[in-house]
Structure formats: structure tokens, C-alpha cells
Amino acid sequence: MTHRHPTRCAAVAFAAACAFAAAQTARAQSTPPASATTNATNNSANNSTNNSADKNRKTDKTTTLPTVAVTASASADSADSPRSDTATLGPLGTLKRVDTPYTVNVVNQEVIADQQLKSIADALRLLPSVQGDGARPQSRGIQGSVVQNSRIDGLNVVSTTDYPLEEFDRIEVMNGLAGALYGPANPAGTFNFIQKRPTDDRQLHFTLGYGTQTRFTRGLDVSDRVGPSKAIGYRLTLLDETGTGYTDHSSLRRQLASVAFDFHLSRDTVLETNFSHYHYVTKGFPATFALASGAHFPAALDPTNSVWGSSNGGNDDTTDTGSLRLKHDFSPNWHLEAAVLRQIADRESTTPTNTIATDGTYKTTISTATASRFTITSNLLYLRGHVETGSVQHDISLGTSGFVWDNFNPVAGGTTTLGSASLANPQSFAVTGAPDFEHRYQSAQSTQQSFNASDNIRFSPHWSVLLAGSQSWLSTHNYNVKGVQTSESANQGLSGAASLIFKPRENQSLYVTYADSLQQGDTAPAGSTNAGNILDPYRSKQWEVGYKLALARMNASVAAFRITRPYAYTLADGTYGTAGNQVNRGIEVMLDGNATRDLTVFGGFTWLDPRLFDTGNASTEGKRIVGLPEFALNVLMQYRIEQVPGLFTNLNVHYVGSRPTDNANNWSVGSYTTLDLGVGYLADILDRAVTFRLSVDNVTNRHYWTNIVPGGLNGYTGSGNATASLGAPRTITASVEFDL
């Protein structure tokens, strides 16, 4: 039995890294690492941005604080603003967003801190083109996979476990197809979680928080550089949040220990390490709701009523993650980056499901047959360089990335019925029959490795072409409880993308991008004649046309796209296969930055038209995809009160349109709008910055359905019955942060 602790191999690697760093440091020159590694840090502009943001974020909000001497040059991603000018795009490295021929949005540290965001879903909720309430985030109306679409610092990680936002500096989302850059993945976007790095100057933040109903938070974030020439940097993040949630008799626990080290081995070489342990427990919150054939969802129920859940049902997840990353500069024009990550994600999920029948009754069940442990080992190796051929400039990238992903299921897992009741006279049922989640067997292994190549060709200051491609190899093995292999598959294929970019001025770009991307086929569901088999890989295609503008204080972007991909469902003969096409069209508009000296804006809206074609069924031909709204909007505004230095207010408006709940579009749930309000004050107490924050989310206490998911991965597995969750009610969060 494997215990829930960081992997021994990570500990050994860490010890070896420390020893090697100490030996190298003894021979290092006396030049401070900040200047000695200028070239090494060019590929991670966000790290220097993080350092300046951590150092200046509090001091920019008021003129009453002590004077701070700033020795670094100003960053475009300035503190005290939701604006982010750069993003990391895998093998391409860190680029200006205005130069990328893709829709890329960033939720930065300023937004995370002032909105008191706690989870990845909280951050994704601010992006109208993204649906992040479910276990697997999605963009442009297409759900991501368990592994391929989610990354930490560019390395594949499991998406179906919870992550604390306190561990990350920013969340970067690239919408649409990314197979040419990263290898096979659903055309659901790439969700990259950028971890906090050590800061150049010493910092110590201590936070105390309170939330509905009696939820208390204690957090510590400390960073410094030590050793000869300060060649070793560290960052330690600790979090403990416990208490009750918004539902009576519910409980919540979030416990994080995360440490990051930077070892400056020489003027041109840096070794970065990250290790984290996170324990996440929620019990007693509302169950997931599902529909029986022909049923539909009622008006949204009250999520604070404990009758809709089980006091001992919920999630108990533990996630251990460790990574090593080496950066080396061969010259000012050529850079190497190599990294490996190991993650173990244990899940004990006993969240009940209330399946609603046509007569208004419901049956409460728990399903424990799915994976209770994921392990993943992911890797990347990139070589980036700049060459010139006459007047033409080339930014070239060559590399490889991939992962090995193992699934482990409970030996005694299955579906257990807890009881039955009706919506008119609801009843809560205690969870019984849960298996020993640590008594597991390996149910599957998937491997994926891609060779990536790209060339950003600049013909003139106005015209450029970006060409990218990947050759990928995929394999999958499935096993039964006795360890016998039941099926296997092996495939390979190319993914490619080409973009034409026109820049009328340095701060503007017009682009058109075509992408053809490979993705792993879906697994046939239970009940089909080929249950458990994995279909051959699919090909998704996308056209995107966009315009970006980077003003002195504000970024703006608009993009139109069309995505097509094969659609899998259970055919008339009972076989699960592809016999239809999904076509998603849409328009996205985003703004981030300072509208005036005192007003910042972060948000936009999305129009989405996702439909099914060639299904062979007149009732579903041309109909909208289950769970997706036609319109979505989110606008976050922060206003600094000039008359009271240090005082600021927040307002966030979130709108989601009506969404169909069956493939024939006979039923739907209504639209909803929520309003969040907040206020903060930065004070100077004993020459220390102290920040007070108060937020009230869903001020009007709007009841609504969220996370509406089709009945299968692609939503058309026979009946196509949907599942949904109840949105959170009015909640209050307060905190005080001390800069010590």
C-alpha cells in the first residue's frame, strides 16, 4: 500500500539537487544572481513579473505607506492592475499576448488576491468563454480531458482533482486547439497554472480569513534569497482552512504545504524545484443532480438546504506534486529548458447523485467504480533559438513533451443506492457501502509523447507567419480487477497549425489561424457492445480570426472561431462509435487593464453556437449541445477611492444564458445573473502594510443550475441525459493580510 506522502523519488531528487547546487555555488562568481542570470530568465518573463508584483502589489494602492526604493525596471505586467501583457505558450516560450495568433487570457495575482479567489474554478469563472465549474474545465463549449488539457508550468497534470489557488501566481488559458504546440488533446483549450516563484527581495505575508458560515483561514507566504551571492531562492506557502460551509451540517478543509527553490548553478544555468502536498475535504454539500429519460430539471433549488446532500458524503482528495526544471542559456539567442513532474492524486469521492424521474421522485446513489488514484509522470524538453536568413528573422523551437498516466480503481467499487424520495418531500440519506478506496487495482495506463517544432517567421515589422506542428505517439492499456489486460491500442499522427499575422502598428495585430489537431478517442461506455474499448483518435479542425490591441493601460481582443470534430455516441446496433459532427462557432471579446487612473476592468462576453450534425436522427440534427449557453458575460471592475487613499471597491457581474438539457432541445434551464461586491483597504500600521478585504458573492442570493454536463463525455451516449449542480448561494469572505 502506498502512503499519502510526497514521492520518495522526488525527495531523493531534491536532496541531490541541493548537494549539486551547494557544490556549484561554492565555485560561483560573486556577481548577484539577478544580473548573472539575465539571459536565463528571459524565457520566463512571468517570473520577474511575479517578483515585482509581489514586492509592489500592496504599495501601489496608497500614498500613505513608507517610500520604497525600486531598483528593477518597470514591468508591463504592472502590479495593482488586472492587465497581463505576456503569457507562456509551451515550446514558444513567453510571448507578448498581442503577438500571439491565439486567444490567450490571464487571471493574474492582483485579481486573485483582491477577489479572494480560492480555487481554479473561481479564477476560470471570470473568463466568459470558459466553463470551469465542472471537474474538467472547458473552453469554447468543448470539455477537456483528464490530463491532456491541464498543466502546471507547462507540464501535464490531472484536472479532476482540486488545486488551491494560493499556490499559483496566475492562471493562463489558451482557447481552442493546441495540438500543434502541446500534442494530442481535446479542442478544449490549454489551462496552464503558473506556480509562485522565489522573489528577489525578502517578503513575508501572513493572512487571517473568515468565510460563511464559520470557516477560518490561516495562510503564510514567505520568500527570500540566501547563500553566497544569494544564489539560492526559496518560497514557502502554507494554508489551513477549516470550518463549515454554506450548507447546514457541511464541512470543508483545505490544507496546503508548498515549497519552491531556485538554484543559480552558474551565470547561465538555473535549477527550479517545486514540491506541494494538498489535502482537500468537503462533506455535506448538495449532491449532483441527474435526469432519468424524459425528465427535466425543476426550478433551481435552495443549495443551503442540507436535505439535498449527505452529511458524510463528498470528497476527500490528497494531491502530491513534485517537479524539477533546468534552464540554460547557450548564448543570448539559444536557450534550453528541460523539466519533469511527478504527481499522485488520491480521490475518495462519495458525493451522492440524485436522479430525477418524470414523476418528480428521485433516487439517491453513490458511484465508486471510477479511479480513486491517478499517477502521472510528465516531461518536456525545449530548445529555442533565433536565427536570421538575410532580412528574414526566425524564432525556432524544437522539443518534445509527453506523459505516462496510470489509473487505479477501488477493488470493491460500484454503484450503491442510498434511498428514494420526491422533490415535494425531499429526504437526505447517509452514505453507506463505500469501499476501501486504498484497496486498488490498476485499471488503465495511457502514454503520450510528442515531438514539436515551430518557426515564427518575421518578414518585416508588419508581416509574419507562425508554423507549428507535432508528431505524436499514443498508447492505451486497460486491465480488469485481476490484472489481466482487456484491451490495448496504439496510434500516431500529426497535428499542425499555420498563422498569418499583420501588425499595422507595434501595439496591434490582425491574424488568421488554421489548426488541425489530433486527440485521443473516447472510451465506449457501459451498456454498449464494445464497452471499455477506446476509439481511434479523432481529428479536430479550427479556423480563428482575431484582432488585438495593446494600449498604454488597457488590452483588448476580439476573435471569431469555428471548430469541427467527430462526435461519438451509441449507434442503433448498440456499438459506440463516431457517426456525427460537432460544429462550434463563436465570438469572444475581452478587456483587461486600467480604464482610467482609478478604474480597472477585467472581462468580456462570448457568443457561442454549438450544434450537432450528421447524427442520423431527425430529432437531434442541427440541435444545440447540452449544457452550453448562447451568451455568457463576466465583467469585473475595481474602483480606487481617490479621496481615501488605500480604499478600493469591487463589482463583478456574471451572466449565463439558458442551456438545453437534452439532445433534442425539448427542455432547458433558465439564464441567471449573479452580482458580487467587495471592498478593501490598505493601511499603514507600525510602518507595515496591512490589507483588509471583504467580499459578498451572489449578493441577491440567486438560485441557479450550473455545471450542466451531457450524459457522456461527448454527451450523446444513447439517452444523452444531463447532470447538473446547484450554484453557490450568497457567501461572505473576509480577510486581513499582514506584510511583515
- In this prediction, residue 371 carries a pLDDT of 86
Residue tagged 447540452 (cell numbers): 626
8 Å CB contact between 13 and 324: yes
Q: Which CATH number fits domain 8-739: 3.60.70.12, 2.40.170.20, 2.40.50.100, 3.40.50.10310?
A: 2.40.170.20
Mean pLDDT of 26-33: 40
Mean pLDDT of 159-183: 94
**Rounded alpha-carbon distances, angstroms, from residue 687 to 8, 65, 683:** 44, 7, 9
Copy the grid coordinates of residue 306.
442540507
DSSP letter, residue 33: H
- In this prediction, residue 9 carries a pLDDT of 42
**What do you get for the CA distance between the two ends of the chain, in Å?**
43
* For residue 13, pLDDT beyond 70: no
For residue 691, the cross-strand partners are 682, 737
Copy the grid coordinates of residue 399.
522539443
* For residue 140, pLDDT beyond 60: yes
The one-letter amino acid at 397: S
- In this prediction, residue 15 carries a pLDDT of 44
8 Å CB contact between 633 and 129: no
DSSP letter, residue 629: -
Please name the helix (run of DSSP H) or strand (run of DSSP E) that holds residue 696, with its range, or none: strand 688-697
> Pick the residue with more confidence: 405 or 722?
405
Task: Give the count of beta carbons closer than 10 Å to the beta carbon of residue 48.
Answer: 21
- In this prediction, residue 526 carries a pLDDT of 58
* For residue 661, pLDDT beyond 80: yes
pLDDT digits (tens, 9 = 90+) for 693-723: 999 999 999 999 999 987 654 433 344 578 8
Q: Among 31-45, 224-238, 558-572, 658-672, which is the least confidently predicted range?
A: 31-45
* For residue 21, pLDDT beyond 90: no
3-class SS at 715? coil
* 314 φ/ψ sector (left φ>0, alpha ψ -120 to 50, else beta): left
Please name the helix (run of DSSP H) or strand (run of DSSP E) that holds residue 593, with its range, or none: strand 576-594
Return the percentage of the chain with pLDDT > 70, whole number: 86
- In this prediction, residue 566 carries a pLDDT of 87
> Pick the residue with more confidence: 66 or 525?
525
**Segments making up each domain of the chain, as ranges:** 8-739
* For residue 559, pLDDT beyond 80: yes
If you average pLDDT over every residue of the chain, what do you get? 87
pLDDT digits (tens, 9 = 90+) for 312-350: 999 999 999 999 999 999 999 999 999 999 999 999 999
pLDDT digits (tens, 9 = 90+) for 572-584: 677 777 878 899 9
Q: Can you tell me the distance from the alpha carbon of 124 to that of 608, in angstroms, rounded to the nearest whole number?
A: 17
pLDDT digits (tens, 9 = 90+) for 236-289: 999 999 999 999 889 999 999 999 999 999 999 999 999 999 999 999 999 999
* For residue 533, pLDDT beyond 80: no
8 Å CB contact between 656 and 629: yes
3-class SS at 61? helix
> Pick the residue with more confidence: 604 or 489?
604
| Confidence category of residue 525, pLDDT binned at 50, 70, 90 | low
DSSP letter, residue 196: P
Cβ within 8 Å of residue 505, ≥6 positions away: none
Q: Can you tell me the distance from the alpha carbon of 64 to that of 51, in angstroms, rounded to the nearest whole number?
A: 22
8 Å CB contact between 136 and 627: no
**Secondary structure of the chain: what % helix, strand, coil (to 5)?**
10, 55, 35
| Confidence category of residue 618, pLDDT binned at 50, 70, 90 | confident
Cβ within 8 Å of residue 362, ≥6 positions away: 289, 354, 355, 356, 420, 421, 422, 423
Here the contacts of 419-426 (C-beta below 8 Å, separation 24 or greater) are 419/363, 419/364, 420/361, 420/362, 420/363, 420/364, 421/361, 421/362, 421/364, 422/360, 422/361, 422/362, 423/298, 423/301, 423/356, 423/360, 423/361, 423/362, 424/360, 426/305, 426/307, 426/308
